[in-house]
Amino acid sequence: MKRILVTGGAGFIGSHLCERLLAAGNEVLCVDNFYTGVRRNVTHLLDNSNFELLRHDVTFPLFVEVDEIYNLACPASPIHYQYDPVQTTKTSVHGAINMLGLAKRRKAKIFQASTSEVYGDPTVHPQPEEYWGNVNPIGYRSCYDEGKRCAETLFFDYRRQHNLRIKVARIFNTYGPRMHPNDGRVVSNFIVQALKGEPITLYGEGHQTRSFCYVDDLVEGFIRFMGTDDEITGPINLGNPGEFTIRQLAEMVVDLTGSKSAIEYRPLPQDDPQQRQPNIAKAKELLGWEPKIVLRDGLTRTIAYFDELLKENVPV
């Protein structure tokens, strides 16, 4: 039995990871400051004697005894990370420093949830891990993009300087149950608007593309990555290479919900990437991993989750 720390563990992806680690027989310490994570995501785990929930902000040091660390703590949607951009950068950078310091002290293996945002608005398509990106360092998204890029730098410097066992994953668009209903992400936005019969807001002409990975597939990639030899450090792209335009996504959501919602066009936000698609050749080769759940099936499960929230009158 391992004692595993998951920062951001009450968040969308973190809560699914906690479930998976507990199911494998581990002790899990879930840490979250509940800025975007919600207690509802992990309430069903509180009766498990191997699960512990701690309110803590990773920008402050944490002194606990653990064998492995998954560092997922950071707001990941533009609405949330742009609300307090200074704190977003601090969470990525100071949080990485504090978790790396803990891993160094405990000689623990540590996983960093990085992001496809390190590629910015890419000029290479699809994006391989060797691509250095096209990032605006002073724009509205920079607090997240550059914060995550700096965190990757710290992880590899700790590896080179202290021989720390690191795993760095670059996560592409992920969706599924427990997404924050007000996070401004395209999947949750479209589903909530469709279920409420509100206009579906499409930014630009809807020709920009994204690749959507169901959360269960992503967590499987995390587990496989952490189980690899110490020499396999990443960064490794984790995402679904299936590419869809935002308009195609909107039309699919309308179809699956049976909604009468019309599509409403709005100006494209600054630095919004025109294309985003992972090259997952490394994940296939090194992890034996690729997504299994097609977008239509994953959306059906996600719609059912949001429909239940609306029936329970949870604010969305």
For every one of its 316 residues, what pLDDT tens digit does the chain have, with 9 covering 90 and above? 999 999 999 999 999 999 999 999 999 999 999 999 999 999 999 999 999 999 999 999 999 999 999 999 998 877 778 888 999 999 999 999 999 999 999 999 999 999 999 999 889 989 999 999 999 999 899 899 999 999 999 999 999 999 999 999 999 999 999 998 888 789 999 999 999 999 999 888 888 888 999 999 999 999 999 999 999 999 999 999 999 999 999 999 999 999 999 998 888 776 667 778 899 999 999 999 999 999 999 999 999 999 999 988 776 6
The answer to whether position 283 is within a domain reads: yes
The answer to whether position 222 is within a domain reads: yes
The answer to whether position 304 is within a domain reads: no
Return d(Cα 233, Cα 230) in angstroms, integer: 7
CATH number of the domain to which 40 belongs: 3.40.50.720
The answer to whether position 209 is within a domain reads: no
Q: Which pTM value belongs to this model? A: 0.93
Count the domains in the chain.
1
144, 158, 175, 214: the catalytic one is 144
The answer to whether position 13 is within a domain reads: yes
Residue 144 annotated among the catalytic residues of the structure: yes
Q: Which residues contact 285 (CB under 8 A, 6 or more apart)?
A: none
Structure tokens at 150: 């700096």
Q: Which residues contact 157 (CB under 8 A, 6 or more apart)?
A: none
Max distance between CA atoms of the chain, in angstroms, equals 58
Alpha helix (H) residue ranges in the chain? 12-23, 78-83, 85-106, 142-162, 186-196, 215-226, 246-257, 281-282, 295-311
**Domain region containing 233:** 3-175+214-239+279-291
Express each pLDDT in 233-281 by its tens digit.
Answer: 999 999 999 999 999 999 999 999 999 999 988 887 766 677 788 999 9
Closest CA to 111 of 10, 230, 210: 230
Q: Are 9 and 62 in contact (CB under 8 A)?
A: no
The answer to whether position 135 is within a domain reads: yes
Sign of CA dihedral 285, 219, 304, 274: negative
